[in-house]
């Protein structure tokens, strides 16, 4: 009898365990199915800072965050590749040269090299068409307004080559816009936001149909750009300052104002922008926020030793906060993969996006809401920017 009781207990325990495992598996499968049905648009990836030096994005096992196999595993439908121009090119007037090299690495080093996996896209319609064909839409955004060398003609040339957004600054204040990276640094010539020429840049971007990107800009530059632009604007890779108080993130007031004009904040996965613990520890490592630093192995090693990583839950918290402040139509994804030293536990590289879908479903987000965050909002914003350009060019 006692043996039977024991057997019953063992059986019931094992049944309970089996059932819970089965439930968990079906949740995973459901999340996976939902994830595969999404059009996921990531508005910022810096693998280009490596492909420009010959790095092969088609190599499936590598030490970075991004490669073709991982992009497919992660279900990425459209990728904005960063045409990142370091401020170091300003000194000798080499910014335009570098911009063209970076554009070439996307067009030639990625898309032309892997035509079965990527197709170059420049419009929202392109993204949807390419996604339906089962390929990854490749788009380009310039990182660093100094890329135009204070010349609207170059801005137009970049648009013609396929550039569809430009961050008005990188970590450096340029001749026409203040950056969050040096806004409090003595000795830097500041402008209190945008200069009159900076406002012309914004208006020319409107006329062309290029998205105005305020990631990296000083707060005043954001407010000036928002006031000047006749189309909605984006933050291609920024998170929430209310949860992680760093100048690269957006305040609640900024998120609300951006949203009111139809804009989108694309949440950045950099540990130091997600978690104040990571941000504080990161301050002890030199140059820890520079993208394209993949070659600086010693700094990376030091960073990983000293900085506790953020987590998938932190990413969900930033998305949730931005949705609470700006609404469900104002939030997207701008991972910054391969542009940062530290990525969150559970979201280590582009292959891990399905984990985010699972976490958002667990948080109570509907399929429809996630669809907006993953791509719907960005497509809507792109169409608004395209419509404004069409309208302005017709008049």
Residues identified as active-site: 44, 46, 143, 170, 216, 237, 336
| The three-state (H, E, C) secondary structure of 88-133, written as one string | HHCCCCCHHHHHHHHHHHHHHHHHHCCCCCEEECCCHHHHHHHHHC
Rg of the chain, C-alpha, whole Å: 22
State how far the alpha carbon of 7 is from the alpha carbons of 2, 3, 15, 16, 201, in Å: 9, 6, 12, 14, 77
The span from the first CA to the last CA of the chain, in angstroms, equals 91
3-state secondary structure of 213: strand
Dihedral of CA 238/38/52/121: which sign?
negative
CB 264 within 8 A of CB 378: yes
Dihedral angle computed from the Cα positions of residues 291, 355, 236 and 92, in that order, rounded to the nearest 10 degrees = 10
Question: In whole angstroms, what is the distance from residue 21 CA to residue 297 CA?
Answer: 41
Q: Which two tokens stand for residue 220?
A: 């005043």
What's the length of the chain?
Answer: 395
Tell how strand 76-84 and strand 264-267 pair up: unpaired
Question: In whole angstroms, what is the distance from residue 256 CA to residue 242 CA?
Answer: 13
Dihedral of CA 288/293/299/301: which sign?
positive
3-state secondary structure of 263: coil
3-state secondary structure of 194: strand
3-state secondary structure of 64: coil
């Amino acid at each position: 009898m006692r043996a039977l009781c024991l057997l019953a207990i063992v059986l019931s325990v094992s049944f309970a365990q089996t059932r819970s495992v089965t439930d968990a598996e079906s949740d995973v499968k459901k999340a996976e199915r939902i994830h595969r049905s999404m059009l996921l648009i990531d508005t910022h990836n810096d693998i280009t800072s490596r492909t420009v030096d010959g790095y092969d994005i088609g190599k499936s096992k590598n030490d970075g965050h991004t490669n073709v196999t991982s992009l497919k595993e992660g279900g990425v439908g459209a990728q904005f590749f960063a045409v990142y121009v370091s401020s170091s090119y300003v000194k000798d007037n080499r910014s335009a040269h570098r911009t063209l090299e970076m554009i070439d690495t996307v067009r030639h080093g990625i898309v032309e090299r892997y035509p079965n996996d990527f197709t170059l896209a420049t419009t929202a319609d392109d993204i949807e068409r390419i996604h339906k064909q089962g390929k990854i839409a490749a788009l380009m955004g310039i990182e660093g307004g100094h890329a135009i060398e204070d010349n609207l003609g170059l801005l137009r040339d970049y648009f013609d080559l396929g550039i569809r957004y430009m961050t008005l600054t990188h970590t450096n204040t340029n001749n026409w816009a203040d950056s969050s990276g040096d806004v409090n640094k003595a000795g830097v010539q500041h402008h209190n936001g945008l200069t009159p020429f900076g406002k012309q840049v914004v208006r020319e971007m409107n006329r062309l149909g290029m998205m105005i990107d305020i990631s990296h800009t000083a707060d005043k530059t954001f407010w000036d750009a928002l006031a000047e632009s006749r189309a909605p604007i984006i933050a291609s890779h920024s998170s929430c300052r209310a949860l992680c108080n760093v100048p690269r993130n957006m305040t609640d007031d900024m998120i609300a104002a951006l949203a009111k004009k139809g804009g989108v904040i694309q949440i950045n996965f950099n540990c130091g922008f997600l978690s104040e613990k990571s941000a504080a520890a990161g301050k002890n490592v030199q140059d820890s926020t520079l993208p394209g630093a993949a070659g600086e192995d010693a700094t990376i090693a030091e960073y990983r030793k000293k900085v506790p990583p953020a987590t998938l839950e932190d990413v969900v918290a930033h998305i949730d906060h931005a949705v609470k402040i700006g609404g469900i139509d104002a939030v997207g994804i701008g991972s910054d993969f391969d542009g940062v030293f530290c990525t969150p536990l559970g979201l280590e590289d582009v292959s891990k996006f399905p984990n985010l879908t699972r976490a958002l479903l667990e948080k109570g987000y509907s399929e429809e809401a996630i669809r907006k965050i993953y791509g719907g909002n960005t497509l809507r914003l792109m169409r608004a920017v395209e419509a404004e350009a069409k309208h302005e060019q017709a008049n």
